[in-house]
Amino acid sequence: MLSYEFCQSIRRLLAGDASDARWSERCRNQFRELRNDYRWISEDSTSLVRGPNGEIRWWTFAGGIANHTLGDALPKRYYPNANNLCIRISSVETSKAIAETINDLQGAKLQANPSEEALDKLKFSKCLPLEMAQSVFNSRASDRNAVDRTLREPMRIVSEH
């Protein structure tokens, strides 16, 4: 999983218009295309984007650990699916209603929900009581700083057509 800092660097590159003199023409063209495809990206806010097919993605650029924690905190009816850069949400609710649900999340209370398989993969998991195994998992699979910073950012609601 990619870190919060690395994903924020990706966001800054996509949101900006700077180029490096060392970039090849092909590289400059690729960035121009990417920036056009993701023109709604902002350096100072997350983006809740409803695509032309109705799919919703919350672009946080928070990194894999934080996005999985945030995805786990969303209602199960959203069927959240997190990766390093965004969280896919399956819902017929309006973008505004989803944004309100996200805004109601309390960062300090969020923690990853380990699956049984994830707990089994912990070293010495067979020797640990369930509560202790969950605590060990949460200490390793937590990026509270990234979660809190992401939840403090304003959110833009975007509809692509």
Output the pLDDT for position 116.
74
Amino acid at 64: G
**How many Cβ atoms from other residues are within 10 Å of residue 153's Cβ?**
15
Q: What share of the chain is helix, strand, coil (3-state, %, to 5)?
A: 50, 15, 40
Residue whose C-alpha is closest to residue 60's, from 140, 4, 104: 4
Decide: 110 and 60 in contact? Cβ < 8 Å.
no
End-to-end CA distance of the chain: 31
Output the pLDDT for position 107.
64
Averages of pLDDT over runs of 10 residues in the chain (161 residues) are: 96 93 94 95 96 93 94 94 97 93 80 71 76 74 88 93 65
Output the pLDDT for position 33.
96
